[in-house]
Amino acid sequence: MITKPKGTKDIYGTEAKRWQYVSKVIDEVMEKYNYNFIRVPVFESSELFHRGVGETTDIVTKETYDFTDRGGRNMTLRPEGTAGVARSFIENKMYGDNNQPIKFYYNCPMYRYERPQAGRYRELTQFGYELIGSDDPLADAEVISLAVNIYKILGLKEIKVNINTLGDAISRNNYREALINHFKPYIHKLCSDCKERLEKNPLRILDCKVDADKEIMKTAPKTIDYLNDESKERFEKVKEYLEVMGIEYVVDPSVVRGLDYYNHTVFEVEAKIEGFGAQNVIGAGGRYNGMIEQLGGPSTPAIGFAVGFDRLMLALEYEKVKIPVNSSVDLFLLYVNDDEKKYAAYLTNELRMNGFVVETDYLSRSLKAGFKQADRLNSKFTIVLNSEMLENNEVKIKNNKTKEEEIVSIDALIYYLDENIIEDEECECEDDHQHECSCSHDCKCHKED
Ligand code: HAM
């Protein structure tokens, strides 16, 4: 049997419906915040990620899926979305657009060759957004508040927002020097990767998973002590705006982020649900004012965030957040002979084009088995097409909830369905219809198999 690659998932059935629902909510929220959808390629030239994400990051040195295409070009499956969006901003000369800042969002798979475990995948999905063209601290506050509001709107309560600042280039450099001085005497105690990071990018040492518990890590200098006045003031402004918006946060100096491109504000959102597991950072982001210039564009400030979609879905499940999953059809059409089957073909097409969810039989089932199938699909109405009645332009329609039957003229069928279909009420049961429950709705879990 051919199996899926390690670290990937098949999303189908109820889980797929939950994903679709969450994506729909995200689309609606992003519209309110005036972010536009962007689709960039799954693969880009490897150079983009080396220059954009950073040569010394774990993502680029250890985790990218690299390949040479048939034309001999070095390509990489995108490990994240920010570099591709920045490339698109430059290539499409969006900096010339009067309508600044440019606000984009994406919701798509990324690829990282990591050691798979619960909440960590090789094909992961990120919903991310980027605000390009503003250095205003209000933009930082918008990006952070949007993250918090998305989680809140979806019903997640147990979250913690950790924010920090790396400061401007001067502050970051001062901090870098302080880290080198701190780690240099103890370098022989650190792992081989950290030895390499010391000169190239000492901030990355703080992200090291191997050395994480060593005392030398705990006593490392804090970003906050190396900020110049300008950077401190800027961070104060961001916090002020967050407070006005009523966004709760914690200043955590240990948040430095695993990608090279950040400066000023950086932040992470943690799921604090009991038993959630080690991969509890459900989203992260920050300001990257230098990246666009580094990629060959004009100096352009930017800030963004990415939600780990897979981890978000896990968190929603852990917190038992109810997600409305539509699991019914409006009408099931049954037939006995070939003429009736032809009419079923016509009518399903007609009714679907008028906005109804209609199903019919494709397996030459008996009527009895057809009724069972209608039941399994939670069909609200059933019609058994009958040639004699069709000659009179009529059908007999059964309401599967009340069990009442009515004869309706075909010309009035659309009107009848419009008047009589009651949208599914949201079920109150906690367990997503997987087991019998005690809610008061006529939902799937009360039906016999
Ligand atoms: P990141 O921290 O690398 O940032 O990833 C963002 C989020 O994606 C993480 O917080 C986590 O929830 C999720 N994630 C990362 N790796 C995995 C994995 N292997 N399996 C499951 N989930 C994962 C970025 O990617 C930046 N581009 C964020 C950003 C946008 N910064 C500015 N704009």
Give the model's pLDDT for residue 396: 98
Specify whether the CB–CB gap between 330 and 378 falls below 8 A. Answer: no
Could you give the angle at the alpha carbon of 445 between the alpha carbons of 443 and 447, nearest 5°? 80
Averaged pLDDT for residues 147-152: 97
Averaged pLDDT for residues 259-283: 92
Those residues whose C-beta lies under 8 Å from the C-beta of residue 17, and which sit 6 or more positions away, are: 325, 326, 327
Give CA separation, 245 vs 30, 185, 203, in Å: 18, 45, 31
Q: Could you report how far apart the first and last alpha carbons of the chain are, in Å?
A: 31
Per-residue tokens: 110: 């990324």
Q: Is 64 near ligand 1, meaning CB less than 6 Å away?
A: no
Specify whether the CB–CB gap between 380 and 421 falls below 8 A. Answer: yes
Rounded distance from Cα 257 to ligand 1 centre (Å): 10
* Mutational pocket test of ligand 1: of 60, 65, 287, 311, the residue with most ligand atoms within 8 Å of the beta carbon: 311
382 closest CA partner among 405, 412, 362: 405
Q: What are the structural domains of the chain?
A: 13-168+228-318 (3.30.930.10), 331-424 (3.40.50.800)
Residue 443 has pLDDT above 60, yes or no: no
Average pLDDT across the chain, whole number = 92
Residue 275 has pLDDT above 90, yes or no: no
Q: In the chain, helix, strand, coil percent, each to 5?
A: 40, 20, 40
Residue 285 CA, closest ligand 1 atom number: 31
Residue 54 has pLDDT above 50, yes or no: yes
Specify whether the CB–CB gap between 82 and 14 falls below 8 A. Answer: no
Q: Is 311 near ligand 1, meaning CB less than 6 Å away?
A: yes
* Residue identifier of the C-alpha nearest atom 33 of ligand 1: 304
* Secondary structure of residue 130 in the 3-state scheme: strand
The band of 427, judged by pLDDT with boundaries at 50, 70 and 90, is low
CA 319 to chain centre: 17
The answer for 357, left when phi > 0, alpha when psi is -120 to 50, beta otherwise, is beta
Residue 445 has pLDDT above 80, yes or no: no
Give CA separation, 374 vs 5, 313, 349, 361, in Å: 36, 30, 18, 9
Residue 435 has pLDDT above 50, yes or no: no
pLDDT digits (tens, 9 = 90+) for 199-249: 888 888 887 878 777 888 889 999 989 999 999 999 999 999 999 999 999
Give the model's pLDDT for residue 20: 97
Those residues whose C-beta lies under 8 Å from the C-beta of residue 101, and which sit 6 or more positions away, are: 131, 132, 133, 134, 139
Rounded distance from Cα 124 to ligand 1 centre (Å): 9
89 vs 423 pLDDT, higher one: 89
Give the model's pLDDT for residue 446: 46
Give the model's pLDDT for residue 207: 78
Least confident of 14-18, 73-77, 213-217, 245-249: 213-217
Residue 439 has pLDDT above 80, yes or no: no
